Structure 1
Amino acid sequence: MNGPEIHVEFAPGLRVFVPHGRRSGATPVATDGSSTLGHVVESLGVPLTEVGELVVNGSPVAVSHLPTAADSVEVRAVERPQPVPGAPLRFLLDVHLGTLARRLRLLGVDAAYESLDIGDPALAARSAAEQRVMLSRDRGLLRRRELWAGAFVYSTRPDEQLRDVLGRFAPALHPWTRCTACNGLLTEASKDEVAEQLEGGTRRSYDVFAKCAECGRAYWRGAHHEQLEAIVDRALTEFGTG
């Protein structure tokens, strides 16, 4: 690029995306004179899904703004909680976020998940068709224009990932209402209705069951219930029911 030079400063939370030399203060950036500010920001490594306001010389502008020489640009992070207009809040997670998907479902959040690597075009198309917020750590995927909405998952640790998503989007929480395997809704079930899925010890020890309306999987308060309950309790304590 050999066009007008501008000065860009990123919000602290966005500096993880940019080279070390651009992580503090305003830094000079050469533009080509024809690219939009949104394109310039993305070329520096920051997905637009993570950008809130773009402020040029003290005034908010659109991503379609064409930078001019000596512009002073402030790139702000998205506000939290982040409003998602239109459809009910639903998520789509890529193949690398299976544990996060199961934890969101545990909390009753509608979280579709692709267990196979179906490719970025197919994921983006599903996000658009079903109006789901795409959650991913793949910046290339989040740059696809056909996405309905998207968000970068900043951590690699499931506990931190869950807190990040709940804090950013504030979804309504309805624990124990979704199948952690397929995202279907759970309904109460009698022991007879799920008998074929129960081992002898489970059949003798438990009397309260639920069953997924989509895949038919049975649920009860088994050996791992305390661990799951701890995840639910932490989420409800910090984020409420939404």
Structure 2
Amino acid sequence: MDGPEIIVSFDPDLHVFVAAARRAEEGARVRTDGASSLGHVVESLGVPLTEVGSLTVDGRASEASHVPTADERIHVSPVTRPQPLPGPPRFLLDVHLGTLARRLRLLGVDAAYERLDIGDAALAAQSAREQRVILSRDRGLLHRRELWAGAYVYSHRPEEQLTDVLERFAPPLAPWTRCTACNGELRPATLDEVRPQLRPGTERSYDTFALCTACGRAYWRGAHQDGLNDIVADALRRADARAGGVQGSAQG
């Protein structure tokens, strides 16, 4: 590029996206082309705009559309938590996040999931069409202009992924109300309705059943219940703690 130089610094929470040479607290000099927007410059340095909460230019708040000029000092901050959305959080997860999708559904969170690799363009188009937040560890996908909203999943461990998403978006939780297989809503069911799907002996051991209104899958409290209960209890405990912290801050 043959244009003005600017000085760009990033909050430490964004360093995962930025080359080591550009992580200095005082910032790093970056040469621009003199025509690109600040948002484009930030993305060219590796940070998806989905992860940017605010931008400042010489200490003043700025929009991503600003075109930087020589010697301006830019600071890039991460999104605030919980991150506000126009409506109730609804998610779309890429092919690599199946376990996270099932755990979100277990908590009653609307989480669509693509089992096949349908490609970044199709995922971004689905995000826009259904107004869903894409969750992905694919940075390239999060750079696509057509997606409605997105968020980078920072960890590769499902339990940490779940905590991160719940803390970032604070979706309402309604455990045991969604099908973990297809994301459909569950309804109470009688023994007669679910009997064809029961394992031998199950009807003598359990008396509470549900059916998915979308795919017809039957649910009952099985031997795996303790592990699922632990996931639900931990998520509810964290949600209560967050709600208490927000209320305390507001009163303070």
TM-score under structure 2 length normalisation? 0.94
8 Å CA contact 2:88–2:171 kept in 1: the answer is no
For residues 88 and 237 of structure 1, the distance between their equivalents in structure 2, rounded to whole angstroms, comes to 21
DSSP 3-state at the match of 1:83: coil
For 2:60, the equivalent position in structure 1 comes to 59
1:39-60 CA deviation, whole Å, 9 max, x = no partner?
1100000000000111000111
Which structure 2 residues correspond to residues 157-176 of structure 1 after superposition, within 5 A? 157-176=157-176
Equivalent-residue separation in structure 2 for 1:140 and 1:72 (angstroms): 26
2:214 aligned with 1:214, yes or no? yes
Deviation at 1:24, TM superposition (A): 2.3
Amino acid across the alignment from 1:135: L
Aligned to 2:146: 146
Report whether the alignment pairs 1:76 with 2:77.
Answer: yes
CA shift, 1:239, in A, is 1.1
Per-residue deviation at 1:88? 2.8
Q: Is the 8 A contact 2:93 2:134 kept in 1?
A: yes
Rounded to whole Å, the distance in 1 between the matches of 2:21 and 2:224 is 47
Q: Could you tell me which amino acid in structure 2 is paired with residue 200 of structure 1?
A: P
Greater displacement, 194-203 / 163-172: 194-203
**CA distance in structure 2 between the partners assigned to 1:128 and 1:93 by the alignment:** 14
2:249 aligned partner: none
One-letter identity of the residue aligned with 1:37? L
1:137, CA displacement in angstroms? 0.7
SS in 2 for 1:74: strand
Give the residue type in structure 1 aligned to 2:10. Answer: F
- Corresponding residue for 2:46? 45
State the 1:2 CA deviation: 2.2
2:6/2:29 contact within 8 Å kept: yes
Q: Deviations over 1:42-97 (max 9, x none)?
A: 00000000001110001111111000000000001011000001x43200000000
Q: TM-score, normalised by structure 1?
A: 0.98
| Count of residues paired in the alignment | 241
Structure 1: unaligned runs, 5 residues or longer: none
Distance in 2 between residues matched to 1:191 and 1:46, nearest whole Å = 52
Alignment-derived partner of residue 156 in structure 2: 156
Shift of 1:22: 1.1
Percent identity of the aligned residues? 68
Alignment partners' CA distance in 1, 2:230 and 2:198: 25
Deviation at 1:165, TM superposition (A): 0.3
Runs ≥4 residues deviating over 4 A:
none
SS of 2:166's equivalent in the other structure is helix
Aligned mates of 1:202, 1:4 — CA distance in 2:
72
Shift of 1:207: 1.3
Greater shift after overlay, 21-30 or 168-177? Answer: 21-30
3-state SS, counterpart of residue 200 of structure 1: coil
After TM superposition, the structure 1 = structure 2 runs for residues 197-212 of structure 1, keeping only pairs within 5 Å, are: 197-212=197-212
